[in-house]
Amino acid sequence: MTLVQLEYIIALDTYRHFATAADRCHVTQPTLSMQIQKLEDELGVLLFDRSKHPVLPTEVGISVIEQARAVISAQKQIMEIVRDAKNEVSGHLKVGVIPTLAPYLLPLFLTSFIERYPKINLEVEELLTQQIIEKLKLGLLDVGLVVTPIDDRSINEIPVFYEPFVVFAAQNHPLLQQEKVDFKDIHAEDMWLLNEGHCLRNQVMNLCEEKAAASQALKFLYKTGSLEMLIKLVEQRYGYTLLPALATLDMSPDRKALVREFAAPQPKREVSIIVHRGYLKKKLIECLKTEILTHIPVSLQDKADGVVVGWT
């Protein structure tokens, strides 16, 4: 039994396809198949049911693969201990970030991060929260930038900042007549929302007193995953939407005139770094957290005068 063989069965379990697993392991399919077969022969059990499409692990295979993941994780931890002892800040960091955060947060710190840590290879992927969680569990991501709390005991949450929600309303909308918007004035009838699957949509609906479906009294229904599209729809003098505060930082004066803050306590979303239990690359992740905190407004770094809005 070798570490390489363990890596191959983990890859096959992750991708459930021989060709894809071989490609991700940078070997030919016959090589991967042969090594897995050799391991099965050595153990005297079948680890995968090859008659299934996609390929599925057998009952004993599930247990063996779980242990294989633990072994490979321990091996990586040894390498991390050595890097830490040498005070090296280097390696590959795979980050998943949700779409309602990526375009507003990443530009604030990415350039500085890359310049400060030239030996860290940063790979960023925009995904929905559930996709990030699944990839963390499979080892396909090292870290996620998402909105918490998350009801998953296998995921560790590291809160980073607390982002207020603001109202963005069409000209002449009644909400713009208020200096500060009160919760009780938020209703679903003329509110634009993101598609289902976005945690921001769930949070917005949790703020509404009535939890009715917000297909609204608007002239048409438009499904989108883009906050920028919601902003443009509102600018056409239809209804209003709720935005995270970072989305307003680079707004033009004309757009900012359509923004209203909430009265205290402000509704906020808790933005966290999430990792899988027993995670690796602690030093790299700490560098990521530090760089984010260095570049976001200080006012977002605690939840004073605010209340965290759940999304589950």
Q: What is the pLDDT of residue 193?
A: 78
Q: Name the token pair of 17.
A: 């396809």
pLDDT in tens, 55-91: 999 999 999 999 999 899 888 888 888 877 777 788 8
Select from 22, 52, 85 the last residue of a domain: 85
Are 52 and 34 in the same domain? yes
Select from 85, 117, 132 the last residue of a domain: 85
Label residue 207 by pLDDT band (50, 70, 90): low
- Percent residues over pLDDT 90 in the chain: 62
Are 244 and 262 in the same domain? yes
Select from 37, 68, 85 the last residue of a domain: 85
Domain of 7: which CATH number? 1.10.10.10
Sign of the dihedral through C-alpha 42, 48, 49, 51: negative
DSSP characters over 176-210: GG-SSB-GGG--STTB--PPTT-HHHHHHHHHSSS
Q: Name the token pair of 308.
A: 């965290």
Q: What is the pLDDT of residue 237?
A: 74
Are 172 and 98 in the same domain? no
Are 106 and 74 in the same domain? no
Tell me the Ramachandran region of residue 235: left when phi exceeds 0, alpha when psi lies from -120 to 50, beta otherwise. alpha
Residue 220 has pLDDT above 60, yes or no: no
Q: What is the pLDDT of residue 215?
A: 44
For the chain, what is the domain count? 3
Domain of 201: which CATH number? 3.40.190.10
**Mean pLDDT of all residues in 136-152:** 91
Are 240 and 102 in the same domain? no
Are 285 and 230 in the same domain? no
The residue segments making up the domain with residue 235 are 162-267
How far is the C-alpha of 197 from the C-alpha of 74, rounded, in Å? Answer: 34
pLDDT in tens, 239-264: 888 899 999 999 999 999 999 999 98
**Quick check: 65 and 9 in contact, CB under 8 A?**
yes
Are 55 and 74 in the same domain? yes
**Mean pLDDT of all residues in 16-37:** 95
pLDDT in tens, 42-58: 999 999 999 988 999 99
Are 106 and 147 in the same domain? yes
How far is the C-alpha of 133 from the C-alpha of 52, rounded, in Å? Answer: 26
Are 8 and 60 in the same domain? yes
Are 173 and 290 in the same domain? no
Are 263 and 137 in the same domain? no
Are 117 and 184 in the same domain? no
**Quick check: 124 and 107 in contact, CB under 8 A?**
no
E-only strand ranges, 149-277 = 155-169, 240-244, 259-261, 266-276
pTM, 2 dp? 0.79
